[in-house]
Amino acid sequence: MQISGGAPIAPGGTGPGPVEGVWRFAAPSQESSVPQARHAVRDLLTAQGLAGRPLYEDLLQGLLLIVSELVTNAVKHAAVLSPQIVVEVVIGGGWVRVSVEDSHPYRPKALHNDHGRTGGRGLLLVKAIALEAGGACDVDRTVNGGKVVWASLPIPVAPVAPALPAPASPYQVFPRSAGAPERPLQGRPAPYGG
């Protein structure tokens, strides 16, 4: 899959945080696109600094599951009218947004648990992952009459260690006694009594 984007892919992701940008890639509406999209998004997130760090592990796993579910849904339910899907990843403003766009006009709704059904809960799972992470998920219409299903998750921020108190001075400071003359130190201090 060829990824196109508005920001360079930063190899290694060794900076202080993820690289911001927008990346898109198209894939055929077929089952083999599910693992390919998942791997492409994983590689992209790794290159942008959102993988390989314990702080981002839950975010990464959630995003990969979301991509798998969204691409699977598009392949299963939209392939008849959409021979191609577009996956987009947006990183910016402390959020990661993944979306899958197709040309089918039907807008899916998250089904509630129905123990009689063996499938149909992919969007429910996507919404649950997004909400648990403090994010959001929705379905929007596209200009060409299709739809884009998206989920946004906040990027975790490393906790800031509390500031350490200034080390105690090894010297004890005594307040000046009332009525004692104030004289500046010049050179060596005078000995007692003089």
**What single string gives the DSSP state of each residue in 114-183?**
-TT-SS--HHHHHHHHHHHTT-EEEEEE-TTS-EEEEEEEEPP-PPPPPPPPPPPPSSPP-PPPTTPPP-
Asked if the model's pLDDT at residue 180 lies above 70, the reply is no
- Averaged pLDDT, 40-61: 92
Average pLDDT, the chain: 81
Q: Residue 56 gets which letter from DSSP?
A: G
What pLDDT does 14 receive? Answer: 46
pTM of the predicted model as reported, rounded to 2 decimal places:
0.73
What pLDDT does 134 receive? Answer: 95
Q: Which residues contact 8 (CB under 8 A, 6 or more apart)?
A: 19, 21
- Averaged pLDDT, 152-169: 79
Cα–Cα distance for residue pair 73/149, rounded to 1 Å? 10
- Averaged pLDDT, 157-183: 67
Asked if the model's pLDDT at residue 177 lies above 50, the reply is yes
Residue 109, both tokens = 């709704």
Percent of the chain residues topping a pLDDT of 90: 52
CATH T-level topology, domain 18-154 = Heat Shock Protein 90 (3.30.565)
- Averaged pLDDT, 148-153: 96
What pLDDT does 162 receive? Answer: 72
What pLDDT does 194 receive? Answer: 53
* Confidence band for 107, pLDDT divided at 50, 70 and 90: confident
Scored b (16 or more CB within 10 A) or e, 156-189 reads: beeeeeeeeeeeeeeeeeeeeeeeeeeeeeeeee
Asked if the model's pLDDT at residue 189 lies above 70, the reply is no
What pLDDT does 13 receive? Answer: 44
Cα–Cα distance for residue pair 14/31, rounded to 1 Å? 34
